[in-house]
Amino acid sequence: MGASLMVAMLVSVAFFAQASAAPASSQTWEWDSKVPICTLKQHNPVDAAAVTIERTPGGEETELKITLPADAKIRSGHFLDATIRTDSGRSFAADLGVGTRRADGKLELYVDSPDPAFIENLAGTAWLEVSQLKIKTVRLPIHIPAKVVTTLRDCEDTTMRDWGIDPVAWRGLQSRPLPVGHIRERFTALDYPTQQLARNVEADAVTRLDIAVDGTVAKCGAVTPGLSRDFELASCEVLKGAKFRPAIDASGRPVPAPIVYDVRFRIDN
């Protein structure tokens, strides 16, 4: 048994209690209420890969989970500095992961892009192409209606307001806080709380960082304090040493701004 940690930008779980129906544009999409992020999941698409999209209020990252066909030929592993291209012709930086799902053994491709324009380019796209030096280029047919992207944006805005973050002001920044380097690479299995690992406890540590104008972490704390204290402390112990490019306002000045991460503590069996 070993431990693994994954990092994604966080969204509020409270939204999902209010959003029980799938977006009107497609009966094949529904909210995934099992995870504490804005997540829309596609079911049984015709002639396309099944896609799950996770969005991050207060952040730029978009994560895709794509179920690969049984005959897919792609190397398993985690690959940094990959490229993803949509049928718009635009390319975006991304990290890739390829692994087998515990539930059913199906091969799944994980795509994480920090580019704020990536989510908009998913609207209406018919395929995605992923490439990286260590793996073969793969093109996958997908169907993502524009309404799905709009619905995810609404989720982000609702969640930011719940947290006291003005989504209009936050999006009005010329640029938001950006980590220097890969946040995921700061974590190792040794950061897993020892007592919780011994008890086989998994958790998502919802962690907010307030980034100062010099790019340092001025404050680190839980968005939902007390729900998983050991995990929250472990997350802040790692994240408080991270360095960021500070947010820039509309006039070009560095300003303080928040960023929230969901650090996922998982146990590999």
Q: What is the CATH number of the domain that holds 68?
A: 2.60.40
pLDDT in tens, the chain (269 residues): 555 555 543 322 222 223 334 443 445 889 987 777 788 998 767 667 789 999 877 778 899 998 877 667 777 888 888 999 999 889 999 998 888 766 667 788 899 998 889 999 999 888 999 988 888 888 888 888 899 999 999 998 998 888 778 999 989 999 999 999 888 889 999 999 999 999 999 988 878 899 999 999 999 988 766 667 899 999 999 999 999 999 999 999 999 999 988 888 988 75
Considering the domain architecture, whether residues 46 and 91 belong to the same structural domain is answered as yes
* Positive/negative CA dihedral, 269, 68, 98, 61: negative
Longest Cα–Cα distance of the chain, Å, equals 52
Q: What is the CATH number of the domain that holds 264?
A: 3.30.2420.10
- Out of 131, 162, 193, a domain closes at 162
Is 8 a domain residue? Answer: no
Mean per-residue pLDDT of the chain = 82
- Out of 108, 134, 162, a domain closes at 162
Which pTM was predicted? 0.79
- Dihedrals phi, psi of 186, to nearest 5 degrees: -75, -20
Alpha carbon distance 42, 191 (integer Å): 33
